[in-house]
Structure 1
Amino acid sequence: MPPTAAHRAGPTGTGMAWNLGGIVVRRIDEIDLPPDTGAWLLPQATKDVVDEAPWLRPDFADTDVLRLASHTFAVEAGGLRILVDTGIGNGKSRANPAWNNLDTDYLERLTAAGFPPESVDLVITTHLHTDHVGWNTRLSNGLWVPTFPRARYLTSRTEWDYWATADMDESRRQMFRDSVHPLRDSGQLDLADIPEEGLEVAEGVRLIPAPGHTPGQIAVELRGTDRSALITGDSIHHPVQLSHPHLTSGVDINPAQAVRTRNNLLADLAETDTLLLGTHFPQPTAGVVRSWDGRYRLLSEPGAEIPPTRP
């Protein structure tokens, strides 16, 4: 069963940020997802599984419930304002009760962090799922129009091509009508071919293939002068998948490929200084990957309040 209604995030503010050296990445909160989301999304992540990774509590799990959130990442890099994914969005008719007709202050949070919609240069979509494209558009005079009027919206061509021929149910077709097709119609949608070695789309910003959850999913690597970071998309839904990389989501299109992608990413990140930024991780959201008891764990780095740079 899909989750119940979601919870609003806390008061509007600039949120947590991480300075990588020449690149600043900020978490922009949308909502805290309801407690039953974890069981729906990762049904194999039972209490016994969570018990095997006690470091998950209290930040990432309650006694027997995974904690998840919807947020996006706002990145200042190379003189550009870049948004990675756009969450669920407001006022959109969705089959999932947790996403249906939301009314959050996400845009106010984004503006408070120094990213008013008209200042955004680039929107990177890790994959074309409903909870990653919602703020692509907003309702204006009865029409869904691009929220970020001067931005280029970038996703992988493999992702677009898959959904262009997929047999979609009505709820997914509705999502494309209100959150994706208006970008195509405005001429702001840009499709990129992502080679195995990745594609640099701005100074210090590289898209890398992360298939499995969807065929064309990408992760976003940020390379600052001091350290690097990786924004996961849904290649890692929750930190429990560090301890148990074999856990798959009920909405993974190719579960076996998703596991391979996750194992490869974790092997590359382990014991490095690279910051892992989880798209659905609850606070503290970020950390470094370390070997732990024959598995992996996340050593949290909560970030700091960094004053926004005004456009």
Structure 2
Amino acid sequence: MAQDVEIAAMRRALELAARGPASRNPQVGAVILSADGRTLAEGWHRGAGTPHAEVDALSHLPEGGARGATAVVTLEPCNHTGRTGPCTEALIAAGVSRVVYALDDPGETEGGGARRLAAAGVDVEGGVCVDEARALLAPWIASRLRGRPHVTLKWAQSLDGRAAAADGTSQWITGPAARADVHRRRAEADAILVGTGTVLADDPALTARDGEALLPRQPVPVVIGTRPVPADAALRRHPHAPLILPTRDLASALDALLDRGLHRVFVEGGPGLQSALLRAGLADEVLAYIAPTLIGGPRLATADIGVDTITDQRRLAVSDVRRLGDDLLVVARLEPHAEGER
């Protein structure tokens, strides 16, 4: 059973992990503890091709400095050779006597690190702070398990479920605090996806901003649909060149994004695109920004999502509810949909 000092070190490792880029590779942090519980070194993974968290932490110690130590890692140490060598072998060579980790690696080639360490005589314990680690790595895990990007649907709605007034106007349903939260979350995504209908109707810039200033990290703007995107569209002035996918095949579009290393997709494409992704079982998370206002009329936040009878309803697991000014944000995870699961 993990000791208190190891649990505290795991929480520190999770803080370190969050410093790494959220993309194709998992965010991982590591802390090396001495036999008496002192922190000897810390490390985290800084992106593809850079040392993994365990190796980064070990690099801060002199030769032999980790002998008899405990390595606390947010993800099961990898057991394969990719751009870098296996972390299991680095830990064994360093003489680490115990490894505590949070989450099992779901990869077929990367997994198995715990077994390799145990076979080498290292004391291994997994599942420490597993819920916190899973929350951090949820998009990466979904991408690995489902073979497609993690897809987050975002919409703003009135209390009675409308995304726009009868004439189509929708700016602004929610207030400035909710809009600021949206921009922060855009900056955490690899790509922001809309349909051509949204481009033609709203001419969105698809940038992540703090007021009028661009945030340092910007998602790649992606447009899906068969209608042409105007040459003077605002998104063509985005810091990243827009990716235009002239198709209505959502699964192939997501495959194209995955091939480009875009693993976290933030969808702001209006009820048509959002509902199509829900209907196909290609969405993982919903962010519903709910304003205390009533609009009425026909323009609902979602359209047909394939629910013909109440027994077909799509149940979600609420992971967060928070107040943003006068508005409410509900964050919910979608369970795998048998028809759309890949």
Normalised to the residue count of structure 1, the TM-score between the two structures is: 0.32
Larger Rg: 2
| Structure number with higher helix proportion | 2
Normalised to the residue count of structure 2, the TM-score between the two structures is: 0.30
